[in-house]
Amino acid sequence: MSVFVIAYYSLLLIGSSLAAYFNKRSIFILLFSLTMVSFVLGIIGGSGALVMVATFAGLLALAGMVSYSFREALIMMAGPELAKELRTAPLTAAFGMFVIFTYAITGIFAPWIAPYGEAEVISNAFEPANADMLLGADQLGRDMFSRLVYGTRNSVGLALTATVLAFVLGAGAGMLAATKGGWFDQFMGRFADVIMSIPSLIFALLMLSIFGSSMPVIIVAVAIIYAPRVFRLTRAVAGNVVVMDYIEAAKLRGEGTGYLIRREILPNSMAPLVAEFGLEFCFVFLLVAGLSFLGLGIQPPTADWGSMVRENATLISFGDITPLIPAAAIALLTVAVNFVVDWMLFRSSGLKEQ
């Protein structure tokens, strides 16, 4: 039995005993569960499996510490009301906000962070990582790290723009339909049903095959696909607002449709719409990445995470995980956004932690 195995189990048992002594139930359950899992995996996989478990646990602990520090920093910089809300945020939501913040900084300052241009050829094809290239080179000899950084701006920026356009179209039509009612409401509802009945990927492929794969076409096509989903939610939420007494009072005062939407309906529908925006962004982001992987999304030489996975997939056959890095970047952002959305949905639901 190696020194690592003895030290590993000793730390787990000491930590579990201290947590039980100080009545820290949640910490005790976590450490004791980790001890049992490590024991089973150690028997099956030996010390190598324990190293993997220890590495994973260390990464989780590091993520927890970073999330806690980031949440405390936000609380110190925020105003009283926002700080009160942030104190109730779980570490998962804080981790999501930290990841989103990191992606935003990377995308905004991509030209200063990336050591090379996104289309600059600097070495031979598939050259391994070295002091000049942190992640090696792609199939054309371009720096993978630089393309990954620029891909943050291109992939996330495109998905964010398409999501904003979808929300402007869908939310505007939904609140207008709830306010107007009648034939307009029926027509918009049936039109949204028709668009939603078409599979999103097939509709996107059809649009891009007809009009080309330029960025404006991608943004409009994706916005058309997801706007009906936003319409249905907004129509349901706004429908519960327009029957309130203060809406009737505003109508009796002679207020117009624009005033009702801006000052009465929108402020009282904001919480579920903000949460839905995060969910729709995840769907749009994954759709854009899938289109790029199929070769119909963002076109070369512009850096994009989906196309980076496709272009360097050959390396997986040789045991190189470099093509999985942009895929991991896609997954990490999706999980982070969902963490934040879950917290926002919890807040908007009116539930309280026990």
Give percent of the chain above pLDDT 90: 15
DSSP state of 24: -
pLDDT band (50, 70, 90) for residue 350: low
* Highest-confidence segment of 26-30, 159-163, 202-206: 159-163
- Tell me, what's the pLDDT at 303? 84
Task: Evaluate if pTM is beyond 0.75.
Answer: yes
Cα gap 273→270, rounded to integer Å: 5
Cis before 301? omega within 30: yes
Those residues with Cβ within 8 angstroms of residue 308's Cβ, 6 or more apart along the chain or in another chain: 138, 144, 147, 148, 151, 323, 326
Q: 65-74, 122-131, 246-255: lowest mean pLDDT where?
A: 246-255
Which tokens in the block code for residue 349? Answer: 């639901």
Whether 331 shows a pLDDT value over 80: the answer reads: yes
Mean pLDDT score, 258-281: 82
What is the pLDDT of the chain when averaged over all its residues? 84
Range 242-252 average pLDDT: 78
Residue 142 three-state SS: strand
What's the CA gap between 328 and 103, in Å, rounded?
A: 13
DSSP 177-245: HHHH-HHHHHHHHHHHHHHHHS-HHHHHHHHHHHH-S-HHHHHHHHHHHHHHHHHHHHHHHHHHHTTSH
| 8 A C-beta contact, residue 218 and residue 200 | no
* Alpha-carbon Rg for the chain in angstroms: 25
Q: What is the mean pLDDT of residues 250-267?
A: 79
Cβ neighbours around 85 below 10 Å, total: 12
Residue 354 has pLDDT above 50, yes or no: no
Query: Which two structure tokens, joined as six digits, stand for 135?
Result: 């992640």
**Which domains does the chain possess?**
3-69 (no CATH), 144-349 (1.10.3720.10)
pLDDT at 46 over 80: no
- Asked if residues 142 and 120 have their Cβ atoms less than 8 Å apart, the reply is yes
State the pLDDT confidence band at 349, using cuts at 50, 70 and 90: low
Q: Cis link prior to 267 (omega < 30° from 0)?
A: no
